[in-house]
């Protein structure tokens, strides 16, 4: 497997018998070497890029910040104040800011890989990547909850809402346990994965559909019009994906902070 294969766009091929629509198979990329795949390389690349950029932002820190330092401080301050402090509380939020800022940057960069020419693959369009990241959040908020309340105290805190007693507990406790302990990481990962998968699939569809109608199908007016409109939709969806990818990084980080704040709260 060559470097050119690594950087090639993820586009299905049109068969000689007609248009072959894209599908989940187009996200199953062959290994580059050994068992290493393109999403794995992109994950490592994102950590290198994030480290390099944040280091450059902080290397020449000054009282009067330059443009790069100002951008870094703005992003860090937004995560610190609008996400961490507002959802975890002023007592404990500081210790979680580094993780939340790293989480936001990590998801954002890997999402935007889907729009960078030659790379063109959002890492979290692979379900395993999204569920692995959600598992870290699951371990974090359950871990801090047990640290704050003790194991049994945390189960009580999580599964028994204030003011509920008697026979209603037989119904509420299993629902709360299922919702707060089991379902949260699944929905957290599924939201990120589904948005990245669907958005990238649409981009593949309109890119390949436009190419097929303009260059491989018969040269009719309808095919030419459809091909042009497919490329218009491709660029329109690419613009929309810029917002969606940012929002998914923000929501993933926000929900992580909310789960941590709920685990540390004194009352359910």
pLDDT in tens, 170-229: 888 888 899 888 999 999 999 999 999 999 999 998 988 888 888 887 788 888 888 899
- Which structural domain, as residue segments, surrounds residue 143? 3-264
Q: Which residue has the higher pLDDT, 33 or 186?
A: 186
Number of domains in the chain: 1
Does the pLDDT at position 12 exceed 80? no
Structure tokens at 65: 């910040």
Burial 74-103 (b: 16+ CB within 10 A, else e): ebbeebbeebbbebbeeeebeebbebbbbb
pTM assigned to the model: 0.86
| Counts for the chain of helices (H) and strands (E), in that order | 10, 0
Predicted local distance difference test score (pLDDT) of residue 1: 41
Q: Which residues contact 26 (CB under 8 A, 6 or more apart)?
A: 10, 11, 12, 201, 204
Block residue for tokens 């290994």? 31
Does the pLDDT at position 110 exceed 90? yes
Does the pLDDT at position 84 exceed 90? yes
55 alpha carbon, distance to own chain's centre = 23
Predicted local distance difference test score (pLDDT) of residue 166: 72
Closest CA to 140 of 18, 225, 261: 261
Average pLDDT over residues 77-88: 93
- pLDDT level of residue 3 (50, 70, 90 thresholds): very low
User: Distance between the two ends of the chain, CA-based, in angstroms?
Assistant: 53
Predicted local distance difference test score (pLDDT) of residue 192: 95
Average pLDDT over residues 63-70: 78
Structure tokens at 129: 């990547």
């Amino acid at each position: 497997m060559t470097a050119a294969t690594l950087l090639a766009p993820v586009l299905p091929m049109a068969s000689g018998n007609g248009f072959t629509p894209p599908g989940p198979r187009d996200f199953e990329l062959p290994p580059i070497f050994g068992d290493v795949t393109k999403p794995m390389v992109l994950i490592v690349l994102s950590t290198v890029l994030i480290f390099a950029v944040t280091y450059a932002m902080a290397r020449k820190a000054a009282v009067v910040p330059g443009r790069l330092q100002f951008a870094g401080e703005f992003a860090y301050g937004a995560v610190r104040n609008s996400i961490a402090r507002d959802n975890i509380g002023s007592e404990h939020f500081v210790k979680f800011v580094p993780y939340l800022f790293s989480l936001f940057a990590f998801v954002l960069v890997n999402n935007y890989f889907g729009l960078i020419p030659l790379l063109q693959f959002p890492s979290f369009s692979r379900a395993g990547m999204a569920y692995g990241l959600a598992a870290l959040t699951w371990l974090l908020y359950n871990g801090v909850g047990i640290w704050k309340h003790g194991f049994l105290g945390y189960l009580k805190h999580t599964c028994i809402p204030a003011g509920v007693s008697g026979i209603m507990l037989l119904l509420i406790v299993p629902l709360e346990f299922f919702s707060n302990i089991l379902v949260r990481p699944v929905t957290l990962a599924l939201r990120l994965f589904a948005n990245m998968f669907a958005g990238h699939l649409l981009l593949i569809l309109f890119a390949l559909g436009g190419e097929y109608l303009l260059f491989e199908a018969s040269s009719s007016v309808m095919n030419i019009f459809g091909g042009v409109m497919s490329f218009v939709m491709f660029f329109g969806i690419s613009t929309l994906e810029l917002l969606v990818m940012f929002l998914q990084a923000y929501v993933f980080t926000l929900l992580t902070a909310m789960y941590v704040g709920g685990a540390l709260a004194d009352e359910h």
